[in-house]
Each structure stands twice: as C-alpha cells, then as structure tokens.
Structure 1
Amino acid sequence: MKVSFHYVPGEGFDSDDGKDTVRIYFSQDKKEMRHAPTELLLLAVGSCTSDDVLSILRKMRQEFSSYRCEVSGEKREEHPRLLRYAHIRYIFEGPVDPEKARKAIHLSLRKYCSVSITIERGGVRVLYSLIINGETVDDSVDVESIKLEEEA
C-alpha cells in the first residue's frame, strides 16, 4: 500500500498516486474546500466500516433502498490535538432487519474494520448509532461495550 501527494502553492496538498485526486488542506493556506487530515481519518473510519457492514448485510440477504454514513469527531484542545471520540451513524432506508444490522455493525467494529480498531486501540472512544427509516434503533453505543457471541 502506498500513497503520494504534492504541495500546490496557496492551496494545499493533492494526491498524485494515479487515482482520483484527494485534496487536503495545508494549515497555513486553510482552503475550506479541502479536507483536513483528521477529516480524512474520519472518512477512512466510515468507509472501512461501511464496506464491512454492507458486505455482511448482503450475505444476510438484507435489502435497503439507501444507505448513508455520517462520522463526527472532536479533537482535544491541547497538543497533540488527538481525537477524543469518533461517532459513526449508520443510516438505512428500506426493509432492513435491525438485529441483522446490529450484528453486522458489531462484527465490523470489533473484528473486521482495521481503521476503527486502530483508532480505538490508539485511545479514541468509538461510538455508533443505527437509524433505520428515520427511527433510532441504537443511540451512541460505546464500542467497548460490544461483546461478540464468541467473546460472551
């Protein structure tokens, strides 16, 4: 695995590894149309766990009409400005069984999602919420409290 980027004067950093360009801001340029590195970390958490969850639900033959993931976080005030928490919101529309969605989320966050597990082991509190058809099924569940069946 390898990524690369270069500095664009007055703008920030652009990836140049042959894939779609990722635009990252440089703190001295502060371009608002670019992602901050910590935002990219939150995107990585959300996309990693979403890949797991949707793959697991597909294997469970669960259908949905739409899916959205929102990840919020907050950095500490003191340096180094580490993430205090990451809150992942899994938002589904359609006939998704809440128990199956919960099981998929738990498997992802405790066993498969390398990014969320990495930040959690690094001291970031990871929380999740599950919303199906506008109804909150689980709200702000701390990943530390999740026990998989084989751990129980």
Structure 2
Amino acid sequence: MKVQLHLVNDAVHFEGTAPSSKVKVHIDGPPDIGGQELGVRPMEMVLLALASCSSLDLVTILKKQRQEITKFSVDTEGERRSEVPNIFTKIHLTFNLEGKIDPEKAEKAAELAVKKYCSVHDMLAAGGIEITYSLNINS
C-alpha cells in the first residue's frame, strides 16, 4: 500500500492521494502553525479512519443479514492527553442507524465490525487506547 502527500501552499495545507481513489484528501494544521482551515487535521483523520473502517464492516454485515438501513452515521469522539505528544487515550464511537433493524443483530454486527474486523481499531488498541462504542437505532 502506498499513498502520496504534497504541500499545496506556502503554509501547512497538504493534499493526499491514493491509487485506490481519484478523490484528493485535504489536510491542514491548526492556525497557530499557519493552518487556514483548508482541510482536516491529522488527528481528526485518525478518528475518521477508525469510524470509516468500523462503518464499512458494520454496514456490510447488516446488509448480509438483510437488515434495511435507511440512514446511517457515526459520531466519533476522542480524548487526548495533555502532554506532548497529545495522543488519544480514549475514543468512543456512536453508531446511529435508522430502518428496519433488529437491535440484537445490530449489537452482534457492531461487536464484529469494531473488535474483530477493523484493523484500525486493532492498531489503536494495541497502543493502549481505550475504544468503546454504542448504538442508537430508530425505526
């Protein structure tokens, strides 16, 4: 696997590309180092990686179980320590699902998606980060 990152301006705005997509990802730093809010910050990307990795698997499992998802989102919140480097210590995922979904199947699917199939979860958890999740299901 290989990705590329290049500087876009004379501040700290970068553009990332990967051979798997034609979409460009924009990354920027905080204003105190020259960031101009032209992209997400690197630690936000970590949260997005965990959320997307878990979600891809969760949605796939639920579809295989013939659950009807009409709406899906995930809110991800991370707590960081105050010392530098400001790494995450805890992350919580809240999966929000709407449709004809059996809560029991969704719970089992989430457990598999987050803790068994998501490689981003395993990398972060191996570093000592506490990762939890919850489900909100609406018909």
The correspondence for 2:57, drawn from 52, 58, 65, is 52
Distance 1:111 1:94, change over 3 A: same
TM-score, normalising length from structure 1?
A: 0.82
Aligned to 2:97: 92
CA contact (8 A) 2:11 2:34 kept: yes
Aligned to 1:107: 112
Aligned to 1:137: none
Aligned to 1:22: 25
Count of aligned pairs: 134
TM-score, normalising length from structure 2?
A: 0.89
Which amino acid letter does the alignment assign opposite residue 26 of structure 2? R
Instruction: Note the residue ranges of structure 2 that are not aligned, 5 or more in a row.
Output: none
Percent of matched pairs sharing the same residue: 40
Distance 1:56 1:17, change over 3 A: closer
Distance in 2 separating the partners of 1:132 and 1:21: 33
Aligned to 1:5: 5
Distance in 2 separating the partners of 1:65 and 1:16: 31
- CA-based RMSD of the aligned residues comes to 1.5
Q: CA deviation at 1:32?
A: 2.2
Distance in 2 separating the partners of 1:11 and 1:30: 6
